[in-house]
Structure 1
């Protein structure tokens, strides 16, 4: 019962307040880059605040997540880690599905911030656009964050990585840092109830650029699922 009340209260407070950050980010993208970046990071911090003080969720990072021009491959179990990236990093460039950029106000701000849309049905032109954006952002010293599973998975599941990950790794020619996440324990996919506890980011060993596809996929897959038990 307590968890249900907390979840309902969190949903009302978090999603109600999110509109402020989306609208502020939109106008910031038109008027002032500093305001836009503040709003994007502010939304992530707002989620963290609401999760901690309403749901009773803490976040622990095992290892170091720093802004470096590398590819971060992160386990995807809930909405939490998607929104949390601008809080964890200073200026991350997150590869996200194209549909998210259609959200009113937020979509334009996300592009201006440096988020990278991926359109799985867009063909070669969409892939070239994604690569061009990724290379430009890496050249600016920013990390590129990708969720190689392609969609949220239940905690404990370990599906194969999407084929696009290996292609991006090869063409960007940068090291990749795998990160395990266990947020699905507290925010399970396809279930509305949220539980208290600790979400852990476990940072794996950096994997150098230029490895064969089978090797890099195996190493990233193992490290990303290190918290499955």
Structure 2
């Protein structure tokens, strides 16, 4: 069983690597000078391929519940962070959206090149105060440009079941911009474990909660509401045997 899983994961990563080289290189050469809507749409074709290729090679499917809760206008998505899977899926599913990530990722060959074309909010996690300021300023700018913001309030990937604190950066953007915060729960870490090579077959459940208004609400309360809802929903989701 383990050997079969390893072979399937190897096939997945082979397609992953070859296509990221193609999309990042052609994106830089042919789309970097075009408007955000065009260049980001092209790069996100790769994200869609990753999700499709996962299903073909590793038998990993996706079920989304509550998509109707996504506002028609910009918002700040506060999502659970268990693995790399949600970064690929949510970035394309919520588009147009600007993802908050650590600045070092933009320096990775090919992968970082493609990321740059999507106008992410890149922060320096070595300087927490500066990172908080950058997140707020850039997040407000994205919302003003009619682009939503995707942030993982846990700050880093955590194994399924781990208890962590939620940072208020995303809620700060929502309050400062006057837009709602949307909590998103999922069990992606059960099937694509953080730091793991193997990918397990099954169905990842993504549940999108009702928007949390930022009107007459502060970032601490918004963050806590999102945390309680996300953690409660994750607890209800299927666990890999």
TM over 0.5: yes
Relative to structure 1, is the Cα distance of residues 177 and 187 closer, same or farther in structure 2, using a 3 angstrom cutoff?
Answer: same
- The 2-side partners of 1:123 and 1:190 are apart by 24
Give the whole-Å Cα distance in 1 for the aligned partners of 2:30 and 2:135: 24
The 1-side partners of 2:117 and 2:18 are apart by: 23
RMSD: 2.3
Report the CA distance shift for 1:195/1:95 in structure 2 as closer, same or farther (over 3 A): same
Aligned: 1:201 with 2:206: yes
Structure 2, gaps ≥5 residues long: 237-241
What is the TM-score normalised by the length of structure 1? 0.88
Q: May I ask how many residue pairs the two structures share in their alignment?
A: 229
Aligned 8 A contact 1:155 1:228 in 2: no
Question: How far 1:127 moved relative to its partner?
Answer: 4.2
1:47-69 Cα offsets, whole Å, 9 max, x none, are 01111111111111101146631
Distance 1:67 1:187 in 2: 30
The equivalent residue for 1:27 is: 29
Q: Which of 38, 54, 57 is the aligned partner of 1:54?
A: 57
Q: 2:226 is matched with which residue?
A: 220
Q: 1:18 aligns with which of 3, 17, 20?
A: 20
Normalising by structure 2, we get a TM-score of 0.84
Aligned to 1:81: 86
Change (3 A) 1:31 1:174: closer
Query: Match of 1:68, SS?
Result: coil
Q: Distance in 2 between matches of 1:58 and 1:194?
A: 11
SS for the counterpart of 1:193 is: coil
